[in-house]
Amino acid sequence: MAKKKSKRSQSRVSFRKRHQGRVRDTDLTRQFNTGDSESLADAVKNERVSGKGDLTRKRTVVGVDSESPMSSDADRSNDAPLISGRVINAHGLANVVLADDGRRFECSIRQVLKSLSIEGRGAIVAGDHVRFRAESDQRGMIEFVAPRHGIISRQSRGQQHVIAANVDHLLIVTSAAEPTLKPALIDRFLLSAEQCGLKPVVVINKCDLVDTAEFQPILGVYASLGYRVLLTSADHGTNIEYLRELLKGKQTALSGQSGVGKSSLLNAIEPGLALAVSTVSKDNDKGRHTTTTSTLIPLQGENAGWVFDTPGIRQFQLWDITAEEVAGLMPDLRPHVGACRYSNCLHLMEDDCAVKHAVAEGRIDARRYDSYCHLLEDDLLVN
Domain check: are 204 and 300 in the same one? yes
* 369 and 283 both lie in a single domain: no
H/E stretch holding 267 reads helix 262-269
The residue among 284, 309, 334 that closes a domain is 309
HSE of 97 in the Cβ direction (CA atoms, 13 Å)?
32
Query: Based on the domain organization, do 253 and 296 belong to the same domain?
Result: yes
**Does the structure show a pLDDT above 50 at 281?**
no
Could you tell me if 188 and 227 lie in one domain? Answer: yes
175 within some domain: yes
Tell me the percentage of the chain whose pLDDT exceeds 70.
Answer: 69
pLDDT at 295: 86
Q: How far is CA 213 from the centre of its chain?
A: 34
Residue 176 lies in a domain: yes
Lowest mean pLDDT among 105-119, 169-183, 321-335: 105-119
- Range of 186's domain? 152-309
Query: What pLDDT, in 10s, does the model give residues 226-277?
Result: 999 999 998 899 999 999 999 998 889 888 888 888 888 988 998 877 776 6
Among 328, 148, 310, 169, residue whose Cα is nearest residue 247: 169
Picking from 282, 309, 336, the residue at the C-terminal end of a domain is 309
Average per-residue pLDDT for the chain = 77
Domain at 256, CATH number: 3.40.50.300
CA atoms within 13 A on the CB side of 2: 3
CATH of the domain at 141: 2.40.50.140
- Please check whether residue 32 lies inside any domain of the structure: no
- Whole-model pTM? 0.72
Backbone angles phi, psi at 358, to 5 degrees: -65, -35
Q: Residues 86, 134: one domain?
A: yes
Q: 141 and 178 share a domain? A: no
* Mean pLDDT, residues 322-328: 91
Q: Which long-range contacts (CB under 8 A, 24 or more apart) does 42-48 make?
A: 46/21, 47/21, 47/22, 47/23, 48/20, 48/21, 48/22, 48/23, 48/24
Q: For residue 330, is it within any domain?
A: yes
Of 23-32, 209-218, 346-355, the one with minimum mean pLDDT is 23-32
Cβ distance 250 to 127 under 8 Å? Answer: no
Q: What is the CATH number of the domain that holds 329?
A: 1.10.40.50
Q: In this predicted structure, what is the pLDDT of residue 87?
A: 93
Tally the domains of the chain: 3
Element (H, E) at 132: strand 129-134
